[in-house]
């Protein structure tokens, strides 16, 4: 039965699951799980979950926004259908995998709001079983040890238009294959000397069925098993078997695995016929991966950005990684909204980055308290205030949520205002401060500009004005003043200096690398650090706290921020600055 609290947007995958549920395809499905890890009582407790999905990342890097789509889809479907979603680490390549990445993946999935409970697994959990399955496939005539080198294997494989040809080692006897595979297991051969291949069809039009590699020799320490194994199974060999062992009902992959599905089905079918697996076997379903403009989601390219120091690490707020998005201030709820809005499709398409930003704006508008910050300050002096004058004004914490109340802000003789809010020679239609003009200080008084002062370079450094004492916001006299300009400010005596990092899109090009090296498309203005003035209440900001700085956008306290040295990252502007 569907969970009524889960997202209800329709997609073709849900139609498939609905049909399977109606046909009771998984009614008799029994959990097989990791040997020795589940008691009979635990088995009984979880048997009722007929729908099982999985999120199977390789722990060789940090998750990115594209993974968020898969995470939300797999965990969301499991929740909607009263099932479970497994977190399984595809750790079959020890050369690139680290425990650091395992920890980061766990943290990112939890940050997105999902919990896999006791269902955390590793492909390495099944190394013993996978090896036994490989031996059985050799014995049954479905696998052989090949001794071609890598270049020869490419030559024998053929092309997309020309069939491959059989390896001269394809006819090795079962006894010789078993002996060689045992020697590989015992570490008696160096990397690349032999591989174990599945014996399928070298003439198949699907190149993935042309005797794919099941095992390769790799003398490398594994992050969990150490040096116990000198051979490691391939992803194609491991993936489907792991799904079957974990009783996955719907193995949801991106479209690049569509051509691998016949191999997925072939391998599980052989192991079923050999008596190792039971029906119903898991079914693989493919959907279109996320293609997002102005970013790269290739793990290889992300690693290059980090290693060549084009960014400040994996959690750089300009990176499309989930740790980067989190540091920038993107809320997990905004990513949920984004994945729901773009939907699930079988057709590849490009999603404009502005859609992601709009989802962040919508989410942050609801959750963010308002503060005032002056990003490019110049001094404003109210000449008809006494030098020691100070008073309290009241500003709402959220204009759409009166229940959140208001905060006190001090107003004195000297204020900071935005440099752009004063003009020596105002253009037509300019309604802010210029000599002789009146504006309202937001939440404060109406003032009239009386003059200004410049520095030795000729730049305006101080603006002078007079205050209308009966015009304070919230008082009876305020309505008597009709002005077109409304500017924001902070008290020069109580405001705090802060560093603001203005993050923008990492790449200027819509499709980085389309016309050459993607590095050439880096946006040189993607990061700018400025010193600003913020209202005093922001001193209490903790890491991850996000505020709307009025007029400017949403800003999040960086992990490096302290009460003595505030640092805010610009999360997103109030409107799309890239709109054409």
Could you tell me which residues come within 8 angstroms of residue 285 by beta carbon, excluding any fewer than 6 positions away? 13, 16, 250, 251, 252, 253
Name the average pLDDT for the chain.
92
For 356-433, strand residue ranges (E) read: 369-371, 373-374, 377-382, 390-396, 406-412, 414-418
d(CA 353, CA 335): 12
Other beta carbons within 10 angstroms of residue 82's beta carbon come to 15
pLDDT attached to residue 105: 97
Q: What is the DSSP letter of 489?
A: E
Closest C-alpha among 577, 37, 129 to residue 358? 577
d(CA 316, CA 306): 9
Residues annotated as catalytic are: 58, 289, 299
Parallel/antiparallel/unpaired status of strands 84-89 and 120-122: parallel
pLDDT attached to residue 21: 86
55-58: list long-range contacts, CB under 8 Å, 24+ apart: 55/85, 55/86, 55/87, 55/88, 55/109, 56/88, 56/89, 56/90, 56/239, 56/242, 57/89, 57/90, 57/105, 58/89, 58/90, 58/91, 58/93, 58/96, 58/97, 58/235
d(CA 394, CA 408): 5
Average pLDDT of the segment spanning 551-556: 97
Phi-psi map region of 572: left, alpha, beta (phi>0 left; psi -120 to 50 alpha): beta
- 225: tokens are 């098993």
What's the pLDDT tens digit per position in 146-194?
A: 999 999 999 999 999 999 999 999 999 999 999 999 999 999 999 999 9
Closest C-alpha among 216, 219, 210, 221 to residue 233? 216
- The residue whose two tokens read 């109030």 is 574
Q: What is the DSSP letter of 290?
A: P
Average pLDDT of the segment spanning 13-36: 70
Closest C-alpha among 460, 527, 462, 463 to residue 499? 527
What's the pLDDT tens digit per position in 239-267?
A: 999 999 999 999 999 999 999 999 999 99
Q: Domains of the chain (ranges plus CATH)? A: 139-233 (3.90.800.10), 373-487 (2.40.240.10)
- The residue whose two tokens read 């040997």 is 35
Weakest mean pLDDT among 319-333, 338-352, 472-486, 558-572: 472-486
């Amino acid at each position: 039965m569907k969970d009524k609290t889960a997202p209800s947007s329709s997609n073709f995958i849900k139609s498939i699951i609905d049909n399977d549920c109606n046909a009771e395809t998984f009614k008799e499905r029994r959990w097989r799980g990791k040997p020795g890890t589940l008691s009979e009582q635990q088995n009984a407790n979880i048997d009722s979950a007929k729908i099982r999905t999985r999120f199977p990342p390789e722990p060789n890097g940090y998750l990115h926004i594209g993974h968020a789509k898969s995470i939300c889809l797999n965990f969301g479907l499991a929740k909607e259908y009263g099932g479970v979603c497994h977190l399984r680490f595809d750790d079959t390549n020890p050369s690139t995998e680290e425990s650091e990445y395992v920890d980061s993946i766990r943290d990112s999935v939890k940050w997105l709001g999902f919990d896999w409970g006791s269902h955390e697994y590793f492909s390495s959990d099944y190394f013993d079983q996978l090896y036994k399955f490989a031996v059985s496939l050799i014995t049954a005539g479905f696998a052989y040890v090949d001794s071609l080198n890598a270049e020869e294997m490419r030559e024998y494989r053929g092309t997309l238009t020309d069939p491959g040809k059989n390896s001269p080692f394809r006819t090795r006897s079962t006894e010789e294959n078993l002996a060689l595979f045992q020697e590989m297991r015992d570490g008696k051969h160096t990397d690349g000397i032999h591989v174990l291949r599945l014996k399928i069809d070298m003439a198949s039009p699907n190149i993935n069925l042309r005797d794919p590699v099941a095992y390769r020799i790799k003398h490398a320490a594994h992050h969990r098993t150490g040096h116990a194994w000198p051979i490691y199974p391939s992803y194609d060999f491991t993936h489907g078997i792991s799904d079957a062992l974990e009783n996955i009902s719907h193995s949801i992959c991106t479209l690049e695995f569509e051509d691998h599905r016949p191999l997925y089905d072939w391998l599980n079918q052989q192991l079923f016929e050999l008596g190792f697996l039971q029906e119903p076997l898991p079914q693989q379903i493919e959907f279109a991966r996320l293609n997002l403009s102005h970013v790269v989601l290739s793990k290889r390219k992300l690693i290059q950005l980090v290693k060549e120091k084009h960014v400040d690490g994996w959690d750089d707020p300009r990176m499309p990684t989930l740790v980067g998005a989190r540091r920038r201030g993107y809320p997990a709820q905004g990513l949920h909204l984004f994945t729901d809005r773009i939907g699930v499709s079988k057709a590849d398409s490009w999603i404009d980055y502005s859609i992601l930003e709009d989802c962040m704006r919508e989410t942050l508008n609801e959750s963010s308290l308002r503060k005032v910050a002056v990003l490019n300050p110049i001094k404003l002096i109210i000449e008809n205030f006494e030098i020691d004058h100070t008073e309290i004004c009241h500003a709402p914490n959220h204009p759409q949520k009166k229940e959140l109340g208001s905060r006190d802000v001090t107003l004195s003789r000297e204020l900071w205002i935005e440099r752009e809010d004063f003009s020596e020679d105002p253009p037509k239609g300019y309604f802010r401060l210029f000599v002789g003009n009146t504006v309202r200080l937001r939440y404060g008084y109406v003032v009239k500009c009386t003059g200004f002062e410049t520095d030795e370079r000729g730049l305006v450094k101080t603006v002078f004005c007079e205050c209308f004492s009966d015009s304070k916001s919230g008082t009876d006299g305020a309505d008597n003043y009709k002005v077109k300009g409304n500017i924001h400010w902070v008290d020069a005596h109580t405001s705090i200096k802060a560093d603001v990092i203005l993050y923008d899109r990492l790449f200027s090009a819509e499709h980085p690398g389309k016309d050459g090296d993607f590095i050439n498309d880096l946006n040189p203005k993607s990061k700018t650090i400025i010193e600003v003035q913020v209202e005093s209440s922001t001193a209490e900001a903790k890491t991850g706290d996000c505020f709307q700085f009025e007029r400017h956008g949403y800003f999040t306290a960086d992990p490096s921020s302290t009460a003595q040295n505030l640092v805010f990252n610009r999360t997103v502007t109030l409107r799309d600055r890239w709109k054409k």
